[in-house]
Structure 1
Amino acid sequence: MASFPSSSSSSSSSSWIKWFRENYAAPLESVQQLLSGSYVVLVFLLALFIGALKAVVVGPIAGLLLIIGNIGVIIGLFPAHVAWTVYSLIKTKLINAALKFAFLLALPVIFGLWLALSIFGSVLVGVGYGFFTPWVSTFEAFRKDTDKEKFLHSIKDGTWGTIRGSCTVVRDFADFCIHSYPLYLKELRESTGEQSHYSIRITEVPACIVVGLMGLIVDVPLYTAIAIIKSPYLLLKGWQRLLHDLISGEGPFLETACIPIAGLVILLWPLFVIGSILMAIISSIFIGLYGAVVVYQERSFKRGVAYVIAVVAEFDEYTNDWLYLREGTILPKPRYRKKKPSNSSELSVGANSVKGKGNSGPFDAPAMLVPSLAPSRSVREVIQEVKMVQIWEELMMSPEMRGKELVDANILTSEILSEWLKTKGNSHDIVGLGLSSYALLHSLVFSVNSGSTGILLSNGVELTHLNRPQDRLLDWFFHPVMVLKEQIRVIKMSSDELRFLEKLVLFTGNIPSIHDLECGSLVPQDALRSAQIQAISRRLVGMTRSISKFPTYRRRYRQVIKVLLCYSLGRECPQGMPISHSNRLNKSNRSNRSGSSVEIVPADV
């Protein structure tokens, strides 16, 4: 039994503190940990109840809005999609007549799959988004600072925002169907076929059709069987990994604020497993049809059949690696490529690289959505990453800043901006492509002049290979943008050449428009330098055109143009005059603006 310190001691207070620490500090810490754990469990149960209640109330409304909206867009535009596709295939010069005939034969199957999978996907997304978004929003609310904020946000978050979000999803999907897909078809029609022309002999068409059908008959059932057989392993391995992180306090359980969400992941892990099975089934359809492409590429029916057999073995081997089962596969794996591609020696799986032992399939990984079972990174390990939302905000903020400069220079007027908005962006490339390309050029020049090794954002954050988001979509653009930045740095343009590049980008390569804006020839006298600058301009505009096809970008970009229109009207309208009268003022000053000479200032650093 602990003895009390003597009261006659000269340092009685110090002795009492030392005695208290030795005898009661450890028990108090245990009690504190117990109370902390009880608080986390209470928060989890409360969030689970509130989230479930909101999901039952809000989920059906948001889900029905998304499902009905998307299916309405799909069915309503289906005749137009068929007509646009057939017309584009007939008009394009990129493929020969035999390949056009093969595509036209395959169109009924492709459009049938589009109808079935898009409607099924809309129902699945509608149910998942409508019911789980309120739940997740409730758990996110408990990461606020004060208890009052936690309670208020747990009730409010995920209600009206979920309903608005479902409408936004429908709008973005409609933008893709109405705007992006016709743009892809327009590029197909306008392609000359000079750089890469695809052709096939008419005798090879039956072999492609047979192998494509064989892929559907063989690969879809086998992929489904493998996914279902291995799903119990995925369920148990996932729970094992999450529970290990829970007990050891690693990964998502390292931060106390993230524990409720991580607990929700444990409860919903069976749904992730079901989603993996569905993704495997859906992906197997396209992987089976890819056998027809292998026949075309290899000019061999035999190699197409070998592909149909080999991809099943690759899928089995891939899932074995993910689930830490036996290495390799017992299924036959015939060779279906004459020459192994140079980039197929390694198969990137998550953060690790697994040596490939056979031929690579049509995709980087044979198409089963298997959630990562590797040890999770903690919140602190990813805190230095530049988030996708930061890059997305930069893509919107930079055109707005540069657009206001162009409005001040009388290059962008309210008539041009309002006409672009009224015509759904089908006119004035200076607004749709030129402005965003011009903003991207300024960002690259700013990064070059600052000596940055990556891309320097307007908020001072430097985006490099080390801190960029690990996102496949960003990978498609980050490396080309870095190459373009290096090309701009290497050629070391003068101020006149940079000014010419800015105008060339702004007017999307339309040299006559540049001459109309400013008298005199702006083209550099050196033919080589002129060709280099125009090549950079084409790449910039091409990248912007690719980004503009993303539906979310289109919606956000229209908001930017509306902001610029309000800014232009406010600038053109004198003080005290209502903005409604600005159109008459614009008409009276139109002739003066059209004849003025404008100088675009190079990118400042």
Structure 2
Amino acid sequence: MEVPVHFLSQLWSFISFLPFFFLLLILGLVKAAIIGPVVLCIILFGNSAVIAGLWLAHFVWTYYCVARSKRLGLVLKILVLVLLPAPLVLWPVVGVVVSLLGGIGYGFFCPLLATFEAVGENIPDKFYHCFVDGSWSTIKGSCIIVQDFTDFCFHSYFSFMDELMEQMPADEKPMDIELLKLPGCLLVSGIGVPVDVLMITAVAIWKSPYMLFKGWKRLLEDLIGREGPFLETVCVPFAGLAILLWPLAVVGGVVASFLSSFFLGLYSGAIVYQEDSFRLGLAFIVSVVSLYDEYVNDLLYLRVGSCFPRPIYRRNMSSCLERKSSGDNDKNDSNNCREVSYRSKLVSQQSRIWKQALHQYKEMQVWGWLFKSCEINGRILLRDGLIDVKDVEECILKGNCKKLGIKLPAWTILQCLLASAKSGSSGLVISDDVELTRTNGPRGNVFDWFIGPLLVMKDQIKNLQLDENEEMSLRYLFMKCKNETPEEWDNTEFPSGDHVRRAQLQALFRRLQGVVASMSRVPTFRRRFRNLVKVLYLEAVQAAASGSHIGGISNLGKGDKSLMGSEDGKELKGGEEIVDVAERNTYDNGNIV
């Protein structure tokens, strides 16, 4: 940490900014006091009405789906049916409380933060935006929250339940509980909860002074060096408040550790069930304390590792260590061992700094790329007759978007997979200068759930080595055929007569549509896709009336070279919209946000 050269001038700039900051704070609080109650009423009453209106349907349909499900074994099904009343009865209470707290937080902080953001460097007419920003936009945002919540309760939930009743493959066994394992699981969980709660809480209390002084040290260094939260002048007062309230953050960390220790102790019973070993469950009770201690050391930049013992609690971990000690350097085994080691160890300080140095793409960026490309590909498919205007009308008027809502995004992603396989990229080629990989992709389960399977499918496409004629035929086959049997393609113009190759492509199509079906359950999907379909419908009607091409697109059979697609030779790069027609997507009534 180095003191900046113009520290005194920056300090004077900060002091002179304080009166201006307090005026902005008062203005933001006044806006929050006016807008907050309106937002709270919209979110609270809107979500509560949805919960109350659909509660009986949720209750009955949940019981019906669980009772009819073939995916649950007899014992597990009986247990679920017995325990279901508790969450179903608590759901309205939890939903109303969360809506209340969320409405208060959203209605208070959005106008307040928007007031400070209005004085940014690149914002013209700052005085006007200080009063306007965060007012109407926050009210519209609360309506969007209620709309997305309604979509989730009315569409996504029933879609999840319908999937529970689907037929199972012949080689798949239903999930069930082995009753003989339950006594050992309960016994180990009974031992693990008091032991882990006591030990983890003790470690958290022991490390809390380190967390307190390390946090203060880092915040003060950032204050002097004008780094981190103190980089922007507007954020300096808030960051200074963080210094004063840091002890509360330390107390919150200790409380969070105490609460999480209950679940860690209970999970020892799951280890017993999964590994079918009472001994390994006891080993997990001891190991989880070491894992927690190492996590805290890594978080506070203390010494690497832990002083607590860490016995092996997974059989695959044991086999890896045995092969490592015996000197067996088989490539596949070593890869498996590295994977197990990676999953069991915490991220080191060096790897964390390396990840922070990379540009991380957020989930909303990837989400926006997908819908922008769907719009461009939708114009192309409408122009070529692979999507009918009737399909668009049915989606808008009747709400039946099963065909359009699955096949259009799936075809868009398939275009990305084809381009990525050709380029030899290790990830997904979004555009000419954007490549989404495991390193720069969104963190957490989102990547593993959605983007991870796409990387597997990309490798499968690469192994198939499709030629240009086959790629050109895929568009018609994907959109017009059910793709259930290889014989469906007999009367088409698909160049290859190899039924194995056809079956592989059809299986890939079905898996891709399954991934999109899971994406469609995300609350924002239906709203954004409806807005997209409205744009396509208006352009289709205007094109039919004028006799011109949809969206001004001419010969673009091969225009979609990436997930972002291209139109008139222009591409969307880095999540920014540089296509001329893209400006129409930021309309207010039913806007794509």
The question of whether the paired residues in 2 share the 8 Å contact of 1:501 and 1:534 is answered with no
Residue 183 of structure 1 aligns to a residue whose secondary structure is helix
Q: Secondary structure at the match of 2:415?
A: helix
Q: Report the counterpart of residue 352 of structure 1 in structure 2.
A: 349
What TM-score, normalized to structure 2? 0.74
1:296 match: 273
Equivalent residue for 2:151, pick from 175, 191, 196? 175
Aligned to 1:540: 512
Q: Look up the match of 1:155.
A: 131
Mark the CA change 1:269 to 1:473 in structure 2 (over 3 Å): closer, same or farther: farther
Q: Quick check: 2:410–2:513 contact (8 Å CA) kept in 1?
A: yes
> 1:555 Cα shift?
1.6
| 1:340 is aligned to 2:317 | yes
C-alpha spacing 1:428/1:462, structure 2 compared with 1 (3 Å): same
Superposition pairs of residues 544-555 of structure 1, within 5 angstroms? 544-555=516-527
For residues 198 and 102 of structure 2, the distance between their equivalents in structure 1, rounded to whole angstroms, comes to: 24
Paired with 1:307 and 1:176, the residues of 2 have a C-alpha distance of: 37
CA contact (8 A) 2:294 2:304 kept: yes
Alignment-mate amino acid for residue 489 of structure 1: K
| 1-structure distance, mates of 2:296, 2:90 | 26
Q: Contact between 2:298 and 2:348, CA under 8 Å: does it hold in 1?
A: no
Q: Structure 1 pair 301/442, CA: closer, same or farther in 2 (3 Å)?
A: same
Show CA shifts across 1:48-67 (max 9, x none). 33333333332333234323
**Is 1:402 equivalent to 2:399 in the alignment?**
no
Say whether 1:49 aligns with 2:29. no
Summarize deviations over 1:532-575 as a string: whole Å, max 9, x none: 22232223222222222211122211111111122222233458
String of CA shifts for 1:354-398, please: whole Å, max 9, x gaps.
9xxxxxxxxxxxxxxxxx9x8996xxx56x544544322211111
For the pair shown, which has the larger CA radius of gyration, 1 or 2? 1
Separation (CA, whole Å) in 2 of partners of 1:110 and 1:289? 19
- 1:42-441 → structure 2 map (5 Å cutoff): 42-111=19-88, 114=91, 117-145=94-122, 149-197=125-173, 198-204=175-181, 234=211, 237-254=214-231, 256=233, 259=236, 262-263=239-240, 266=243, 287=264, 290=267, 293-299=270-276, 311=288, 314-315=291-292, 318-319=295-296, 321-323=298-300, 336-340=313-317, 342=337, 343-346=339-342, 347=344, 349=346, 352=349, 384-424=359-399, 427=400, 429-441=402-414
Paired residue for 1:482?
455
Q: In the superposition, relative to structure 1, how do residues 548 and 72 fare at CA in structure 2: closer, same or farther (>3 Å)?
A: same
Going from structure 1 to structure 2, the CA distance change for 1:464 and 1:315 (only over 3 Å counts) comes to closer
Distance 1:177 1:600 in 2: 39
- Deviation of 1:468 (Å): 3.6
On the 8 A contact 2:297/2:304 being kept in 1, the answer is: yes
Q: Check conservation: 2:290, 2:306, Cα contact below 8 A.
A: yes
Q: 1:443 aligns with which of 392, 405, 416?
A: 416
Q: Assess if the C-alpha contact under 8 Å between 1:251 and 1:375 holds in 2.
A: no
Cα deviation, 1:245-297, whole Å, max 9, x if unaligned, reads 11123334345565466456556656756765676577566556645543432
SS in 1 for 2:456: helix
Identity of counterpart residues, as a percentage?
Answer: 38
Q: 2:29 matched to 1:38?
A: no
Give the alignment's Cα RMSD to 1 decimal: 4.4
- Supply the distance in 2 between the matched residues of 1:216 and 1:124 (Cα, whole angstroms): 30
Contact kept in structure 1, 2:14 and 2:233, CA below 8 Å: no
> Paired residue for 1:558?
530
Q: How many residues align?
A: 530
Q: CA separation of 1:406/1:479 partners in 2, compared to 1, >3 Å: closer, same or farther?
A: same
| Matched letter for residue 509 of structure 2 | S
User: After superposition, what is the alpha-carbon deviation per residue over 1:323-355, rounded to whole angstroms, capped at 9, x for unaligned?
Assistant: 45787778897765444385453456566379x
More displaced 10-residue stretch of structure 1: 37-46 or 396-405: 37-46
Q: Which residue of 2 aligns with 1:20?
A: none
Change (3 A) 1:429 1:30: closer
Q: How far apart are 1:417 and its partner, in Å?
A: 1.6
What is the CA–CA distance in structure 2 between the aligned matches of 1:309 and 1:220, rounded to whole Å? 12
Q: Is the 8 A contact 1:95 1:193 kept in 2?
A: no
Alpha-carbon shift at residue 161 of structure 1 (Å): 1.8
Q: Does 1:525 align with 2:497?
A: yes
What does residue range 589-600 of structure 1 map to in structure 2 within 5 Å?
Answer: none
Report the alpha carbon displacement of residue 600 of structure 1 after superposing the two structures with TM: 11
- Counterpart position of 2:328: none
Amino acid at match of 1:124: L
CA distance 1:76–1:196, change in 2 (3 Å)? same
1:102-159 deviation digits (Å, cap 9, x = unpaired):
333333454466556544443333332222222222232232336x633332322222
